[in-house]
Structure 1
Amino acid sequence: MANAPRSRAEAKSLEAWLRGFTARVRIPLTATIITGAIGGLLLVLQAWLLARIIDGVIIEHRALHQVWPLLIDLLATFIARAIITSLTDIIGFEAAARVKRDIRRLAYAHLTALGPAWSRRERSGDLATTLIDGIEALDQYYASYLPQMALAVFIPLAILVFVFPAYWVAGIIMVITAPLIPLFMIIVGKGAERLNQRQWRKLARMSAYFFDAIEGLTTLKLFGASRAEAQMIADVSDDYRITTMAVLRVAFLSSLVLEFFATISIAMVAVYIGFALYYRDLHFLPGFFVLLLAPEFYRPLRNMGSSYHARMEAIGAAEQIVRLLATEPPTPPEPKTTPAPEPALTIRFEQVDFAYQPSEPILTGIDFTLAPGERLALVGPSGAGKTTISQLLLGFLQPSSGAIRIGGIDLRDLPPAAWLARIAWLPQRPTLFHGSVIDNIRLGLTADAAAVRAAAAQAGADHFITNLPQGYDTIVGERGQGLSGGEIQRIALARAFLKNAELIVLDEPDASLDPATAALITASVERLARDRTMLIIAHRLESVHHADRILVIDHGRIIESGDHASLLARHGLYATMSALRQDVPA
């Protein structure tokens, strides 16, 4: 379905979406058209001055000093046209830049509303192509195509106003031949539109493959699959190359057709003018003036043909952007006005069910209470639904049925930003962004250097950070490149200390660390947990021995509840898992 050809109605719908943004840049777009129109009128003046000069020197045999005023006027016209042309380009660029900025903001806000639960199911390379290359591909649509559509009507009509009084036969030829250019442009463009659609889809597919290969390069190397993956990327790239060449062939064919008709039309005007001059039916001055204007009459139409490809490219790119924006977010986009509950939070899951597909339930009948200051752990086999519960609590997913209540208020009625401000999230693999260490700890919070350093000290990170080359101003690479796993975890812990949130959602940050580093992380987590509510997603049972309560999840249901000792005494799934992990004698 994704590769089905786009219908005419879909193309019109996409162009209507693109044109919807013109209201935001009406002033610069109008200014672009006005300056372009002034440039067209200056072009007519330039042709008239040049015709006067040539006529005066060659036909009337005037001396240089007699045509010198005309030469000065011609030079001034050249300069004015150059200024107007530059101004037109600058204003058009500004209009396109504003639209691209607005679309990026809109896409980013929508991605934020969709949340991480949605983005994890998408291919990063595909999204990157849509949000970077796709939005950039809209540039020429706003900077060139839309203004050129207006200028392609105004400038030829303006030229005809001057051509008909000078030589009406040339005017008739221009009127008859002018429609041929946009007609053939549309005919050839229909095939190019389908090819552009296919090209954008294959570019997104190639980007997704390439991004996946970069992400998993270590794994591919270790399993000896790098050559096979490289061959797959080469095949996808070659497929994209073939599609791109097909688009270029159609584009070149379109240009050839437009240039052919424009050249034939200009030649017809020149021939008629030549015969009229030969038989003395026309004076040299008006004849030469019309001859100079003939190429300029067809130039806006030819430019519109070139800009037409910008339209098709923009529609191809817009298809992916619109599909992204049409994805329904899991949370309602309208802001909530329900007041926040009291600081002492009581979190209640009331018979919560969740499923991505109605026929495939992930959680069924989840019912528990997390009291203020309680340390609650979720354990169970992989895929049991532990992470889904945390995603529901964070508000990234919505229950299919049931409710999550915060201090008696339905979580869906709370402002998402206000709720997330009260939560610190510590994942197993924290994300660091390219930038300084201090900015990675702040991460949007307003805090001075002393507060950041105090938070880092509580997380056990101050010592290694001060030993970095530039201390807290040291630049770290994307995803913490240049730091060890333990150092990344301690920076993430420093974020949580700095945020000072009342609810901590913890995805076992000391997993996969060496014993010494894990001990440091555990000690920091203990400090963080004081006087705070904590939900722990446990992958290793030894990390939940000291939890106030443990919920055992299996196949999306809570099957056991209690502390470590009571659950062992029941000889249920928890005891079996514990025995398998050699936490107690088998």
Structure 2
Amino acid sequence: MKPLDPRLLAHARAVRVHLAVTVVLGAMVAGLVLAQAILLARAIAGAAAGGGLGELGGTLGLLLAVVVARAATSYGGEVVALRSAARAKSQLRMRLVEHAARLGPAWLAGRRPGEVATLATRGLDALDDYFARYLPQLVLAAFVPVAVLLVMLPADWISAAVVAVTLPLIPIFMILVGMHTTARTERQWHLLARLGGHFLDVVAGLPTLAVFRRAKAQAEIVRRVSEEHRSATMATLRVAFLSAFVLELLATLATALVAVEVGFRLLAGSLPYETALLVLLLTPEAYLPLREVGVRFHASVEGVAAAEQVFTVLETPAPARASGRRTEVPVRVPIRFEGVGLTYPGRSSPALDEVSFTLPPGRRVALVGPSGAGKTSVVSLLLGFVEPTRGRILVGDRDLAELDPDSWRREIAWVPQRPYLFDGTVAENIALGEPDAGLAEVALAAQQAEIHDVIEALPRGYETPIGERGLRLSAGQRQRVALARAFLRDAPLVLLDEPTAHLDPESAHAVRRAAVRLM
């Protein structure tokens, strides 16, 4: 990512405000740096000339005020930067989640959930150093050296020339080091994302791994990936410390060069004492922001690498229908598939080929076929998770691609093969599609789905937490909770994707009874 990536300004409005405030504060700090050096040189020169406290009192008072103002400005800038960072991360996280939702389950299926979760949490949190420390220092690096040179030039053009010649060496070395660390940082971030994704997979599949006695093998894989991440992190830190040493050495040598030539001219009497003091005080201030930029950049590289991944996701084209403009959705009308074909990305053989049929309103229609025939693909097309690569789907006389996907899905109740239950209460999971529903409505839907008695037997009834993925419930009970969602939704179009698959006979019979009642 560039020092200031324009994509940050485009995707996070808080960054634009933060940048404007940072520029103002940077200009203020630059002015205070100059004022502090001028006043301090004047005070020391006056004291050396025999001036008393009465004569120097005004200068010392102003110097104290400038020092306090500089400290307050720096503190205020960091507070503002941290708040801006929090807002920017929140905006980027919201955009990431919204865009991932627009990309749909087909896009998410090609990625490990743990990697996406790591990107949205740990990855974006690493941007704190970028916003709060690196970006303000970058602004100071643009203001302070120029301001110092403008003050030094009329006072002592020789010292100004030495500083002007040596200053570019620091950013040149920073660029060289940055080119060397980019690949290392990206590898470090990819290993972290891989570690997060694999660890989540292991935790989710731990019971299965234990049954097949593969838990130790997976633990060894986690250990190996952790070790690779540790090694990559230490390699990056070694480069960071080395680059910090190089920058410090360059700045020290340049300052020493100025000090030597100023000392010789001061001894020769060709340079006033106050001017010499001013030059010696200003020279380190010219190099300091550039040195700090290098240090702060290495502290923020993980967040920069994560931001690159976020922008990669945000720049992934979403399906065209995500911007559909027709919010009025026709209901209880025929749905027609006309020569529909579907080929998933990365696959050569089509999942559907020249499929044509009609779903009449008010009728129960069963799609029957062997596993892999494309039944789930038809459901995914109707839900708008994927788009047909050929043909079209008509809802009444309107193309499904022209309808707003959110408005269309509000008219659908969907019960998949393996419904996902969230880590909340039973009532919250049933009311997922109708969050304003009362407990009485939730209980009625549960009764219709034949799950009410099971829920009442739980320790806290409908307020019982069921764990992530509904781990406290059996497969048949989870399926009936999904049916209760559909009953509560009371949508004109109900899609059941093999709801009795993988169920025992008793649970399958209960699900079939509830499904008949639902339709």
1:501 maps to: 491
Secondary structure, in 3 states, of the residue corresponding to 2:321? coil
1:74 aligns with 2:74: no
2:26 maps to 36
Specify the alignment match of 1:26 in structure 2.
Answer: 16
Task: Quote the Cα distance in structure 2 between the aligned partners of 1:485 and 1:338.
Answer: 36
| CA apart distance, 1:463 | 4.5
Task: Summarize the alignment of residues 500-579 of structure 1 with structure 2, pairs less than 5 Å apart.
Answer: 500-513=490-503, 517-529=507-519
Question: 1:127-166 alignment to 2 at 5 Å?
Answer: 127-166=116-155
Measured in 2, the distance between the counterparts of 1:430 and 1:338 equals: 27
Where 1:47 maps in the other structure, the secondary structure is: helix
Deviation readout 1:489-548 (Å, 9 max, x if unpaired): 34322321221111211134444455555554444333322xxxxxxxxxxxxxxxxxxx
1:344 corresponds in structure 2 to: 332
Whole-Å Cα distance in 2 between the matches of residues 420 and 156 of structure 1?
58
Whether contact under 8 Å (1:40, 1:155) holds in the other structure is: yes
Gaps of 5+ in 1: 1-10, 530-586
Among 158, 163, 176, which residue is 2:165 paired with? Answer: 176
- Residue 218 of structure 1 is aligned with which of 191, 207, 223? 207
Residue 338 of structure 1 and its aligned partner are, at CA, apart by 7.3
Q: CA shift at 1:155, angstroms?
A: 0.9
> In structure 2, how many angstroms separate the alpha carbons of the residues matched to 1:82 and 1:472?
56
What SS does the aligned partner of 1:365 have? strand
Could you tell which deviates more after superposition, 481-490 or 204-213? 481-490
CA contact (8 A) 1:29 1:95 kept: no
Match of 1:414 in 2: 403
Instruction: Select 2:98's aligned residue among 86, 109, 128.
Output: 109
The alpha-carbon distance between structure 1 residues 23 and 380, as it changes in their structure 2 partners (threshold 3 A), is closer
CA displacement at 1:209 relative to structure 2: 2.6
**Aligned ranges 1:294-333 → 2 under 5 Å:** 294-309=283-298, 313=302, 316-333=305-322
Alignment partners' CA distance in 2, 1:43 and 1:198: 39
Query: 1:130–1:317: 8 Å Cα contact kept in structure 2?
Result: yes
Provide the C-alpha distance between the structure 2 equivalents of 1:476 and 1:53, rounded to a whole number of angstroms.
72
Q: Post-superposition shift, 1:280? A: 4.0
Aligned residue for 1:332, secondary structure, equals helix
Q: Are 2:115 and 2:193, in contact at CA under 8 Å, matched by a contact in 1?
A: yes
Q: Distance in 1 between matches of 2:265 and 2:443?
A: 88
CA distance in 1 between partners of 2:437 and 2:380 (Å): 31
Render the CA deviation track for 1:66-91: whole Å, top value 9, x for unaligned: 54544443333233222211222233
1:335 is displaced (CA, Å) by: 1.7
Which residue of 341, 363, 367 maps to 1:353?
341
RMSD: 3.1
Partners in 2 of 1:475 and 1:287 — Cα distance?
Answer: 73
Q: How does 1:130-279 map to 2 (within 5 A)?
A: 130-279=119-268
SS in 2 for 1:77: helix
**Do the aligned partners of 1:137 and 1:313 also contact (CA within 8 Å) in 2?**
yes
After superposition, the C-alpha distances for 1:32-66 in whole angstroms (9 at most, x for unaligned) are 11112212221222233334444444542624x65
In terms of Rg, which structure is larger? Answer: 1
Q: Give structure 2 stretches of 5+ with no counterpart.
A: none
In structure 1, give the amino acid aligned to 2:343.
A
Distance 1:13 1:40 in 2: 20
Shift of 1:261: 0.6
TM-score normalized with structure 2 length = 0.88
> Given the alignment, which residue of 389, 401, 425 partners 2:414?
425
CA deviation after TM superposition for structure 1 residue 259, in Å: 0.5
Q: Is this contact kept in 1: 2:322–2:404, CA < 8 A?
A: no
Structure with greater strand percent: 1
Cα distance in 2 for partners of 1:278, 1:129 equals 62
Q: In the alignment, is the contact (CA less than 8 A) between 1:25 and 1:95 conserved in 2?
A: yes
Pair 1:338–1:85, CA change in 2 (3 A): closer
CA deviation vs aligned residue, 1:367-393 (integer Å, no higher than 9, x gap): 332222322223333222221121122
Alignment of 1:485-496 (within 5 A): 485-496=475-486
1:416-468 superposed Cα distances (whole Å, 9 cap, x missing partner): 11221111111232212233443333225352424334333433444454555
Note the C-alpha offset of 1:13: 12
More deviation, 465-474/153-162: 465-474
CA contact (8 A) 1:36 1:84 kept: no
Q: Deviations over 1:101-128 (max 9, x none)?
A: 3333332232112211231232222322
Q: CA deviation at 1:351?
A: 3.1
Identify if the C-alpha distance between structure 1 residues 16 and 39 changes in structure 2 by more than 3 Å, giving closer, same or farther.
closer
* 2:361 aligns with one of 339, 352, 372: 372
Q: What CA distance in whole angstroms lies between the structure 2 residues aligned with 1:54 and 1:231? A: 65
Instruction: State the alpha-carbon separation in 2 of the partners of residues 193 and 79 from structure 1.
Output: 39
**Distance change in 2, residues 1:248/1:183 (3 Å):** same
2:429 corresponds to 1:459? no
> Aligned partners of 1:236, 1:263: CA distance in 2, in Å?
40
CA contact under 8 A between 1:331 and 1:397: conserved in structure 2? Answer: no
Shift of 1:297: 1.5
Partner of 1:46: 36
Q: Could you say which residue in structure 1 is the equivalent of 2:111?
A: 122
Contact map agreement 1:15 1:315 (CA 8 A) in 2: no
TM-superposed CA distance for 1:135, in Å, is 3.2
What is the TM-score normalised by the length of structure 1?
Answer: 0.79
Partner of 2:468: 478
Greater CA drift, 330-339 or 254-263: 330-339
Task: Report deviation, 1:202.
Answer: 3.0
Distance in 2 (alpha carbons) for counterparts of 1:14 and 1:31: 15
> Separation in 2 of the partners of 1:468 and 1:522?
23
- In structure 2, how many angstroms separate the alpha carbons of the residues matched to 1:256 and 1:94? 31
What secondary structure is seen at the aligned counterpart in 2 of 1:361?
coil
Contact 1:29 1:91 in 2 (8 A): no
Q: How many correspondences in the alignment?
A: 517
Compute the displacement of 1:183 (Å).
Answer: 1.2
